[in-house]
Amino acid sequence: MRAFIFPGQGSQSVGMGSALAAASPYAREVFQEVDDALGQHLFKLMSAGPDSDLMLTENAQPAIMANAIATLRVLEREGGVRLADKADFVAGHSLGEYTALCAAGAFDLPTTARLLKLRGQAMQAAVPVGEGAMAAILGADRDKAQAIADAAAEGEVCTVANDNDPSQVVISGAKAAIERAVPLAKEMGAKRAILLPVSAPFHCPLMRPAADAMADALEKVTLQSPLVPLYANVTAAPVADPAMIASLLVEQVTGMVRWRESVLAMVAGGVHDFVELGGKVLGPMVKRTAPDATATSVVTMDDIEALLKAL
């Protein structure tokens, strides 16, 4: 069995999608459709920067999605591949969950772009700049990372945000608490902790205003049943019911991304082949979590052609 998986924030970089757009009209079509939906020249920003603008959450989220969907569109149109024929499940890391749902036909592309633009804006607005932070705890499992977060909290929000793989967990919360956690991590047995260059403390209770904004937005859009089930971030379990998916997308804004558990659950469910579209971040996480699984990251035309031979 196979899962198509889609990356989250942090996989953006200036130049993303440019080579694909130069090589395929189907990729250009996706980027134009996203530009039209947002009323901005997002692809120009993806291609040429500046990096400071692309890093903004409201731009990074739809850009990462557009790049992944363009990769899938080329695979489908030029390779004659249908997702429903080649994938048994989809999953995405944080914003990648929206990409996964778009890939599986639950959201159309313009709706996905607009939802992610709004999600980025709402997440940024939820906590004033400079009041929240995130840090990666390396060489620690989730329990150890949570113990570090608890020790650093001192009454402030500080909790596990992303359980990525057995050796990488991200914590999120009030800036002062996260800054206390960084030196504490090594003292408490982690290899090290690194402050992340993010503009807001994602996936923690401080994001409640953004969750409310997404609840309102999701009530106003059409969400179809996906062509294949989605492994949801907050449950690490498959879901196909549109109402339940919408509820989980809201919960995801403040909830933990249970990526390690999702990978293990997919493997336990029979998935042995993971294909990451539009990034090179999740594949290594999969391998660190499930060393016996196959993980392929697909970004370039050469990657697409190699995948087509393997499918």
Catalytic residue set:
94, 203
Is the separation of the CB atoms in 11 and 279 below 8 Å?
yes
State how far the Cα of 4 lies from the Cα of 277, in Å rounded to an integer: 7
Q: For 75, which DSSP code?
A: H
Sequence-ordered alpha helix ranges (H) in the chain: 18-23, 25-38, 42-48, 51-54, 57-79, 83-86, 96-103, 109-126, 142-153, 175-187, 208-219, 242-254, 259-268, 282-289, 301-310
**CA 285 to mean position of chain CA atoms:** 13
State how far the Cα of 10 lies from the Cα of 67, in Å rounded to an integer: 13
The number of C-alpha atoms within 13 Å of 32 and in the hemisphere containing its C-beta is 7
Is the separation of the CB atoms in 144 and 267 below 8 Å?
no
State how far the Cα of 116 lies from the Cα of 17, in Å rounded to an integer: 18
State how far the Cα of 243 lies from the Cα of 127, in Å rounded to an integer: 28
Is the separation of the CB atoms in 100 and 112 below 8 Å?
no
**φ, ψ for residue 207, nearest 5 deg:** -85, 10
